[in-house]
Amino acid sequence: MVKRIEIKIGKETMTLETGRIAKQANGAVLATYGGTSVIATVCCGQAPSEPLDYVPLSVEYNEKYYAAGKIPGGFNKREAKPKDKEILVSRIIDRPMRPLFYEAFSREIQLVPTTVSADQINPPDMVALIASSAAVTISDIPFNGPVAGVRVAYLNGEYIINPTFNEIERSDMDIVVAGNKKGITMVEGGAKEVSEEVMLKAITTAEPIIKAICEVQEELQKEVGKEKLPLLEKKEEPSYLKDVRVYAIPLIQSASFKEGGKQARGLAVEKAVEDVLEHFNTIVEENEDAKGEIKALCSDIQTELLRTSILEKDLRVDGRDTKTVRPITCEVGVLPCPHGSALFTRGETQSLATTTLGSSDDEQLSDDIDGDKSYKSFMLHYNFPPYSVGETGRLTTGRREIGHGHLAERALRAVMPSKDAFPYTVRVVSDIMESNGSSSMATVCGGCLSLMDAGVPIRKPVAGCAMGLITSDENYSKYKILTDILGEEDHMGDMDFKVAGTEDGITAFQMDIKIAGVSPSIMKEALERAHVARMHILKIMTDTLPAPRKEVRANAPTILSLKIDEKKIGAVIGQGGQTIKGISQDTGANVNIDDTGLVKIFASTRTKAEKALDMVKAIVEEPEVGKIYNGTVKRIMEIGAFIEILPKKEGLCHISKLDKKRVKSVSDVLKVGQIIPVKLMEIDRLGRLNLSYIDALDTINNANNENKQ
């Protein structure tokens, strides 16, 4: 049976349909918003596995090129591995939904949202999130949802729900807000230095709309929803765990707050768990499940102790109170060859950031279903090698790396100079050398410093800080907001709340909640605390390097630009591109010209770039009366010589203008191919150029005499 339900969101109506497509999946919903459609399916494993302490969920958002009437590029002409955008949308769907699945379900869950129609007006990501939630909600998979999400833009002082691509491009803020009927659980986006008040109002504007979308999904569930599959029965806690708890608490308490840093605490906790297992060795040998149960209990105890210490004593495992930022050191110019480099260290989190400057040939081509092909001139790449946490493993670029890099790139993009002001392609790379909490915000700070060290004229420095949350119960009767969270606090806490920006406003924002949702008052307090932390970090950064360096490094490539009359583009290019290719070959510079007449010259040295620029200027330059040119003798006639003073611009130097004494024959003075200085005396009414060798020499000699005096 086909069932459809509708809800008005922003300017468009969203339709949720089920029962017509993908009927063999556990759940399937086709969501349509304007001309954009996403089919979301969810399936689970046939039988439950052993009890798990995590949810084996995978979200595989994908876009079909046919959705926008396109054929994929490349040799194979088919969709290949996921693009960065698809991975980022998968994360947006995963993060608000994952906490609402049950670990006790213990089956693999795969969610596949597919964009099958794209009107290139309405972004498909929020359509995909709602379709995904609806598919799970009506399925037989247990789910403590539904969830929903909307995009909010701030344009001309107004909040726009689910803006179009065009409105997003023109807006001062673009964020995605997701949540459930209990509250907001995820926020992510970027802005052009908006205030905390503007950001908070955007979130509260989205909240009632999200609740309404959740209610529509519940209506659909009532009509077509399947009976939920059972969870694994929870085993009764063995009686011996009470004795284990009494014995383990003091050991884990001491280990969890051991001085010496993350690794010292980790080793101490491992030793404490080993001591507990050794003490209860008889039980472990008699019961095959005992070892796993004791380890799980020790982990729970560690979490309880951390949370209780923060709530009751305002004391964190590294000895800080809840408002203190870890010690920060900043260094710039740490590497000799990269065009810009910085080492940003905050506690036990460290980013080695580098900036590389390139030409327009280095821009990243983007080809997707959202619109025409586009070129990206600013890129930030984030790497998280296993040695950063003292482990071995493969060096890969996973979803986490792409997500963290995207957040940091968004934070810095807001202050990047325009292409006209700084025509370089810019790539920032952040290699995480150490990690213990919020390496993405360290990437923002290190990346900013490396840009400044490279001489990139960013408008203002940018810094970021991650906030955390510890709550006592679902009603938040007692809670603590944490400034600059550690890895343990991220893992065992209730919120990861990242805010980046300048001294004047927010440029990037990301919030993930592991509990049902947070109230606007908590978010307001967290934003205020994040602002204080950001100002503190910016002060340390600007004490190290107050502003971007005035010039790029000597080993950086040189880019020069020149705007010419559009009518002269053809002259610069030449027949079959011969002229522009010739300039490149003669100078070693790369010369490009666009349809507007903007010439960009890229070279490894300034000398090469300036030589190429002079050659371009010579082609487009108009002859100027009174100016001296170094001309090339092209033809010798009885009456004088024709001399080329600019490319394809010749003038006549009459025989009487070759010498003050009488010249019998022009060939007595000049030869074809000879280069001589000539002065342009006149451009007659027919456009003919009259030149003088005598006057050029007189002008040069007079100038030399004046300099000697």
Whose tokens are 């025409």? That residue is: 372
- Alpha helix segments (H runs only) across 100-256: 125-138, 165-170, 196-224, 240-256
Q: By the 8 A CB rule, do 152 and 161 touch?
A: yes
The three-class DSSP label of residue 484 is: coil
**Pick from 233, 295, 293: which is nearest to 270 by CA?**
295
- Calpha distance 192→165 (Å, rounded): 17
Tokens at residue 21, please? 């497509």
Give the contacts of 572 (CB within 8 A, at least 6 positions apart).
564, 579, 580, 593, 599, 616, 619, 620
Both tokens of 296, joined, read 């799980």
At residue 362's C-alpha, the angle toward residues 605 and 399, to 5°, is 135
In 3-state terms the chain splits into helix, strand, coil percentages (rounded to 5) of: 35, 30, 35
The CATH architecture that domain 3-224 belongs to is: 2-Layer Sandwich (3.30)
Exposure b/e, 239-262, CB count within 10 A at least 16 = b: ebbeebbeebeebbeebbbbeeeb
Please state the length of the chain. 709
User: Which tokens in the block code for residue 666?
Assistant: 């022009």
Q: Which residues contact 196 (CB under 8 A, 6 or more apart)?
A: 506, 524, 527, 528, 531
* Integer Cα distance of 472 and 71 in angstroms: 54
Amino acid at 635: R
Beta bridge partners of 7: 14
Count of Cβ atoms closer than 10 Å to residue 278 Cβ: 9
pLDDT of the residue at 709: 64
Cα-based angle 546, 401, 269 (whole degrees, multiple of 5)? 95
Question: How high is the mean pLDDT in each 10-residue block of the chain (709 residues)?
Answer: 95 97 97 97 87 90 94 83 94 95 93 97 97 98 96 96 96 96 92 95 96 97 96 84 94 93 92 94 88 92 94 94 96 96 97 94 83 85 94 91 96 94 94 94 98 97 96 82 93 92 96 82 92 98 96 88 88 90 92 88 88 88 89 93 89 93 92 94 92 92 79
**Cβ atoms of residues 297 and 243 within 8 Å:** no
Backbone torsions φ then ψ of 151, nearest 5 degrees = -95, 140
Q: Cα separation of 396 and 268, whole Å? A: 30
Token pair for 688: 């003919």
The CATH architecture assigned to 628-708 reads: Beta Barrel (2.40)
> Of 229, 276, 548, 292, nearest to 412 (Cα)?
548
H-assigned helices in 439-486: 439-453
Query: 265: buried, middle or exposed (CB in 10 Å: 19+, 13-18, 0-12)?
Result: buried
Q: What is the CA radius of gyration of the chain?
A: 34
Q: Calculate the alpha carbon distances from 549 to 340, 409, 539, 561 in Å.
A: 10, 21, 18, 21
Residue 483 neighbours by CB distance under 10 Å: 22
Angle, helix 606-620 to helix 578-587, in steps of 10 degrees: 150
CATH class, domain 328-544, is alpha beta
Secondary structure element (H or E) that encloses residue 278, with its range:
helix 262-279
Q: How buried is residue 48: exposed, middle or buried, by Cβ count under 10 Å (0-12/13-18/19+)?
A: middle
For the record, the structure tokens of 153 come out as 């833009």
Sequence-ordered alpha helix ranges (H) in 551-669: 569-573, 578-587, 606-620
Torsion angle, alpha carbons of 201, 203, 205, 207, to 10: -150
Q: Give the Cβ contact number of residue 451 at 10 Å.
A: 29
CA gap 112, 120 in Å, rounded:
21
Sign of CA dihedral 62, 168, 407, 342: positive
pLDDT of the residue at 30: 98
Query: In this structure, are strands 640-646 and 374-376 parallel, antiparallel, or unpaired?
Result: unpaired
Q: DSSP class of residue 518?
A: B
Contact 572, 564 (CB under 8 A): yes
> Helices (DSSP H) in 15-143: which residue ranges?
84-97, 125-138
Tokens of 328: 């920060």
3-state secondary structure (DSSP) of residue 32: strand
- Report the distance separating Cα 149 and Cα 178, nearest Å: 4
Peptide bond into 623 cis (omega under 30): no
Q: Which amino acid is at 468?
A: G
The closest of 108, 51, 492, 99 to 293, measured between CA atoms, is 51
Asked if residues 184 and 497 have their Cβ atoms less than 8 Å apart, the reply is no
- The candidate with the shortest Cα–Cα distance to 625, out of 693, 674, 684, 579, is 684
Q: Indicate the DSSP class of residue 479.
A: E
Closest C-alpha to 193, from 455, 508, 647, 610:
508
CATH code linked to domain 558-620: 3.30.1370.10
